[in-house]
Structure formats: structure tokens, C-alpha cells
Structure 1
Amino acid sequence: MRGSDERSGSLFSYVDLEARVRPDHPLRTIREIVNAALGNLSKAFAGLYTDFGRPSIASERLLRAMLLQAFYGIRSERQLMERLEFDLLFRWFVGLGVADPVWDHSIFSKNRDRLLAGEIAVKFLSAVLAQPKVKRLLSSDHFSVDGTLIEAWASIKSFRRKDGDDNDSKGPGRNAEASTRRSVQTRRTKVRPTRRPGCIRRGMGSRPSCVTWGTL
């Protein structure tokens, strides 16, 4: 039998956020580690506020929200609050209920300085690294990467001959094909001539990319 597409608004809705998140979701392990670290910082959070006045947004919720912003690559606090408004997974991780209101995005600007002044970021990271589940993932091994290719903000057309003669194209128009091969021995870019530029082709059929050689 075909189901109905009509929307039936319920006066009461009972939604258990804990049941909505699957048991093997990666955020479950992260949330457990984060909550344990935040529990050790309770006294540090209390020292940032006075004993009177209007209650503020809990620092624990602000830090959890900023972690989600980093995990999911959300570009601004405004977009983060919009996502937190309708995403049940985000609400569960931060500690908000289904009916709890979302705070204004300007709260981050006002509280970020307070958290930095109290060195909460350093204490929070230290508390996370001290967790037993995190310690076994750490290592003192060191490695270096040499000859790194960094994508350059320069087009192929910005490469000019070192001798000043650029009359090596055939055909009319600004997009004429070059009849000679471009190389760092005969050309250099006008964008940053002090860097060591070059062009590479990452695969058959792909167009060349301008890169800058560097060292990490």
C-alpha cells in the first residue's frame, strides 16, 4: 500500500538524541575523550567568571562546538550556528537538547578572548593528550619531508623567457599554443622571481600545473 505524504505535526515529540547516533560513530569516542578532559578543567572554567550576573553559555559547549567546526571544515561561526540549529548529531556532541535554543554566533567572538586569556586552549589540549586512549596514539618519532611541491598562484602564461624573447607562439589570439617547451632553465615567473618555480604534469592527459619547490 502506498504511504501518505501528508505532514502530521505532533503536539509532543519525544526524541532521544543518544539513540539517533549510531554506536560505532567516530564522534562517540571523541566525545568521551573530550568530556573527560573538560571535567578536569572545571575549576579553571569557574575562575573565568564571577559569582553574580546572567548565566553565560557554558565554556564546555563552546569548545565542543569549535571542535566540530574544525572537524567538518565549517568556514565561519555563523555557518556553524546554522548547522547546529538543525543537525541532531551536532546537538548531541555539543550537549544541546532538541528543544534547546542555539546561541548567537557573536558569542564566540566575546568568549574566545576570555578562553585565550585563561590559557584554556593549552590546558584543554594538555588534558586531551593526557587521556589513556590518546597516549597510546602518540609517538616521539620524527620525520622530515624534503622537496615539497607547493601549488603556486601563477598561471603558465606568467612564465616568460629569461632572454626577454617571448615570440615563440604560433597561431592568432591570446590562447595560441606554444611551439617550444617551457622549463625553469629558460623561463621564470613574473609573480615571485625569487622563488624556484616549475611546471609539472600529474598524469597523462592532465594539464601542467605551476608549482614552487620548497623544504619542510
Structure 2
Amino acid sequence: MMGPKQEAQAALFYEFSLEDHIPPDHLLRAIDRFTDLSCIRAHLSDFYSHTGRPSIDPELMIRMLLVGYCFGIRSERRLCEEIHLNLGYRWFCKLDLSDPIPDHSTFSKNRHGRFRDSDLFRHLFEAVVARCMAEGLVGGEIFATDASIIQADANKQYSAPKADWDAAQIDPAVVPRAVQEYLETLDDAAFGAASEVTPKFTSFSDPASQWTGALKGPAFFAYSTNYLIDTDHAIILDVEASRAIRQAEVGATRTMLTRTRDRFDLSPDRLAADTAYGSGNMLGWLVDQDIEPHVPVIDRSDRKDGTFSNLDFSYDPATDEYTCPGGNPLKKYWRKMRTARTGVSKDGIKRYYASKTNCSTCALKEQCVPNKDARIVSRHVHEAARDKARQIAKTDAYADASRRRKKVEMLFAHLKKIMRLDRLRLRGPNGAKDEFLLAATAQNLRKLAKLRPMGPAMA
């Protein structure tokens, strides 16, 4: 028999508890156990006025932002609507059914004001990292690093070549916030000072973003998000925003390793990375920091014409000379210098020269230098570190580190596919930093929820 038609019945009184309507295995229940925001009010106290109308609780705004990044809700206007409707989101944000939802414009005002002035998002990220360490999820022995390109909120139609862009008169007092930030980062190692190469186009709306075709498709404006992870459980130990070029990404890794050591007293035994981090300067810096570089060496010494490569020449550190396969020496200088010289050029290269006489009478000349009078061998100032990296690459530990390095790529795939951060909403270097820090914080919280599930008693 067909039942009666269902109609909503108005009631004078309701007994309703949000706690009873959130499933025990809901992701937000697990994340809430690790979301301790009690220190936020103390951290922000100096950035609020002690008089006037009370402002919106900063903990509420942070919880709302975490919901957005954990569930891939990119629009803050839509985020407010979802929290208004979703019981689980309300519960996580400590809102009752009758509590109003803050207006979406509140996020912008606080993000560009007290949140940024206090470096709140960095403080929040590091608090979650500390919790991961307390839960035993950070081994501290093998780290991995990599960068991923994220499209900026800019397009080619509103851009110009750098020369034309500089021709315009820029008044920092009236330009948009993203342009002000660009002017402030011209000497920053992660942005303006990362490279002297001028990009083909510069965006008017976000000039700090990099015009790049690195993905082998149509070029676009972008930033790079740089991750430093502990490879035991893929916990993100640090994150840094930079230009989408190799020099800036390598510099960001140095910054992250130094900051992780200073903030958490963590310095890895080994660092795994791809070939982009295999320059002599980077390898030398790692060795100086007592970190084993499990990194492929950028090596252009191999020859395709069948002649001897630089690796076929033996080096003697005692005499600072090379010996060729024919047994003849190669020296930086064949005459005694009145003033001592290092022989190091501006690009960090030392060059060793063979004697023309020795080369002309050598039986191996056609295999060594068939088209010139004498052979020249180049040696990087950090060649000892490069040699160490080459030796490490032959070990089983290197193969293990290479497998672990793929965990960084998995995090980037999760960032773009699940959390939907494939294009930035905020402009300027600070906007990129805010988005990358919040996304990394959400990823670490989700990792905590997965690896430290709720027990039966807590459910």
C-alpha cells in the first residue's frame, strides 16, 4: 500500500546535535584531532586593535580555509555557501546551526592584512609539521625535493615584452598589490635575482610570474611550488614559492634545507632529487652541509664523436694536474706565475692545458683531439662533490633513494588532481606563498588522518 505523502511538519522545538550527525569515520573527524589552533590568538594578538568592535574569530577563518583546501573548494564565495549547507563542515568549524557564516570578503581583508603581516600561514604549517614529528612520522634521515609548475592567474593577452613593460612609468603608490610585490622581490633569490635571463613576456597583472614553456606545450605564466619531504611517510617538511625556472628551484631547496635545520633541528643524511639539482654548485653545497647527494650529475663531458671524454683523464689532487690516456700531463699554467692564481674562471671552471708538443707526437691524438693542436680539460671547482655523487649513483642506497623520490611527484599529483590546485587564484609572490603553504598544511593533515586513524574508543 502506498504510504502517505511526506510533508515537512513545522515544530515548535527541536533537539538536534551536530555531533550525532557526523559519521565516526569522516575525514574531518580525523583531521580535527590534529588541528590545534589554540596558539593562533596569542600569535595574532599584536595585530589586532584593543579597542573597537570585536572581529571574527581568526580560528574560524583558518578552519574554513582548511576545509576549502582539504576538499578542493577553490572559490571562497562557494566555500562560504558549502559551509552554510554542510553539517560536517559546520561541525569542523565549531559552528552551530544558528551561527552565521562570515562573508567571503573577510578572507581577503585578513589575508592581505594581519594574516600576512604575522606570517600566520607559515606558523600554521610549521605547527602541523611539529605534530607530525611528535607522532613519529618523520625519520629525519632521507629527504627528497622537487618542484612543480602551477599556472598563475595571468594570461598572454594582458602582457608585453619586458622592454615595453619597463618603458611604462610605474608609481608603486598606485599600482596593484601584485605589482608592488613584484617590485619588492626584484632582489629576492627566489624571484628577481634568480636569473639574469629576461623572460619573453611579462604580465601586467602578475609580473612576478614566469612565462614558461617547460611542460612542452603552449607557454603560460606560472610559479613553482617547491617541496622538501621526509621520505619515510612523505611528510612535507617545508614548502617554498619561486619563479618557474631551474635556478630559482635549486635556490629554494637550499632555503628549505636551511630553514628546516634551524626550525626543527633536522638535517638529512641523504637528499634525493632529479637531474635539475645536479649542478656542481648545488652538489658542492650539499657536501659542505654533510648531506650525501643522491642526485644525478649534470655532466656534459661525454663526447659523441668517439674521442676521449674528460672522465678518461686521471686527476691528481696533490699536484693539481691531469694525466691523459697517453701518460702526458695537463696543467693550468705551463710557466711559473709571478702572482699566484687560482685558475678559476667566473663560471667556476678550472681549465687544464696539454702541451702542443706532447699532443703532436702522441699516438692517441686522433682519439683525443683530432681537430685541434692540444687538448683542454675542464674541471668544476666542486668536481670532488661531483665525483662523490657519481660514486653514490652506483650504490643500492641510490636506487632506494630514487624510488623514495617518487613520493614527491605523488604529492604534486594529489595537489593538482584531488585538491585542484592546478591554477592559482591569488596573484603576486605572497599570494603564491599563501596558497602553497595552506595546500601543504592540508596535505600533511590528511596524511596524519590516514596514518593515525581513530581508534574504537574515540569513534
Instruction: State the TM-score, normalizing by the size of structure 1.
Output: 0.62
Task: Indicate yes or no: 2:79 matched with 1:80.
Answer: yes
- State the partner residue of 2:123: 123
1:73-129 deviation line (CA, Å, top 9, x unaligned) = 112110001101111111111111111111111000101121111111111111122
Contact 1:128 1:134 in 2 (8 A): no
User: 1:41, CA displacement in angstroms?
Assistant: 2.9
- State the partner residue of 1:142: 143
- State the partner residue of 2:11: 10
Task: Indicate yes or no: 2:34 matched with 1:58.
Answer: no
Letter in 2 for 1:11: L
1 CA distance for matches of 2:7 and 2:16? Answer: 20
Letter in 2 for 1:142: F
Secondary structure of 2:66's counterpart equals helix
The within-5 A match list for 1:199-210 is: none
2 CA distance for matches of 1:90 and 1:67? Answer: 10
2 CA distance for matches of 1:13 and 1:62? Answer: 28
**Matched length:** 156
1 CA distance for matches of 2:104 and 2:48? Answer: 20
Contact 1:81 1:103 in 2 (8 A): yes
**Identical-residue share of aligned pairs (%):** 34
Letter in 1 for 2:117: A
Contact 1:15 1:98 in 2 (8 A): no
1 CA distance for matches of 2:135 and 2:54? Answer: 35
Instruction: State the TM-score, normalizing by the size of structure 2.
Output: 0.31
User: 1:138, CA displacement in angstroms?
Assistant: 2.8
Secondary structure of 1:39's counterpart equals coil
User: 1:144, CA displacement in angstroms?
Assistant: 6.5
User: 1:135, CA displacement in angstroms?
Assistant: 4.0
CA pair 49-197 structure 1, distance change in 2 beyond 3 A: closer
- State the partner residue of 2:68: 69
1 CA distance for matches of 2:77 and 2:143? Answer: 38
Contact 2:83 2:90 in 1 (8 A): yes
Gaps of 5+ in 2: 149-212, 218-273, 277-459
Letter in 2 for 1:85: H
- Aligned-residue Cα RMSD (Å) equals 3.2
Greater C-alpha Rg: 2
- State the partner residue of 2:45: 46
Secondary structure of 1:131's counterpart equals helix
Letter in 2 for 1:123: H
Gaps of 5+ in 1: 149-193, 199-213
